[in-house]
Amino acid sequence: MTAGARRAVPLEQGADMNLPAMRAIVRRDLHDEDFENYRWSDDELDRHIARALAQFSLALPVEDTEDIETTDGSREIDISQLSDRVMVQAVEYPTGSYPRSYQRFALWGDKLTILSDRVVSLSPHSAKR
C-alpha cells in the first residue's frame, strides 16, 4: 500500500537550511549586529528560528511517500513509524498498478484502516504514504 502524506521537517533536516546564515539575516532584521554586544544570544535566536520553521512546516508541509509492509488479510496498518506526520493524503493499494489504485481509508491515531472491499492479499505488498 502507498500512502501520500505530508510531514513537518525539523530544523536540522531542512535540506537548504543554513542556520548561521539564517541567524545573520534575523540579526540584521532585528538590528542586532554588534557582535561585541548582542541583545539576543545565538541559542535564543536558534530557538525562535526553530519555532518559526516548525510553524511554517505545519502550514506548508513537505510531501512525501513511504512504503509500509502490510499484513495478510488485514485492513489495519500501523503507521506509527511515520515520524513528523501532519496528514495522510492518499493510500495506494496495491502499489505499482496503472492506473494507480487509491483506496478509501480512515485514520485513528497511528492506525490506518482501508475501507474498500479489497483486503490485503496473500503476497506481501507494501503501502506508501
- CA R_g for the chain: 21
Residues 66, 54 share a domain? no
Position 120 scores a pLDDT of 57
Residues 86, 44 share a domain? no
The parent domain of residue 33 ranges over 8-59
pLDDT tens string 43-70: 999 999 999 988 888 888 777 788 888 7
Residues 42, 19 share a domain? yes
Burial 96-112 (b: 16+ CB within 10 A, else e): eeeeebebebeeeeeeb
Cα–Cα distance list, 75 to 8, 70, 85, 105 (Å): 27, 9, 20, 9
pLDDT band at 83 (very low <50, low <70, confident <90, very high): confident
Residues 123, 71 share a domain? yes
Quick check: 125 pLDDT over 90? no
Position 102 scores a pLDDT of 87
- The pTM of the full predicted model, rounded to 2 decimals, is 0.54
Residues 67, 49 share a domain? no
98 versus 63: the higher-pLDDT residue is 98
Residues 112, 69 share a domain? yes
Residues 98, 47 share a domain? no
- Domain total for the chain? 2
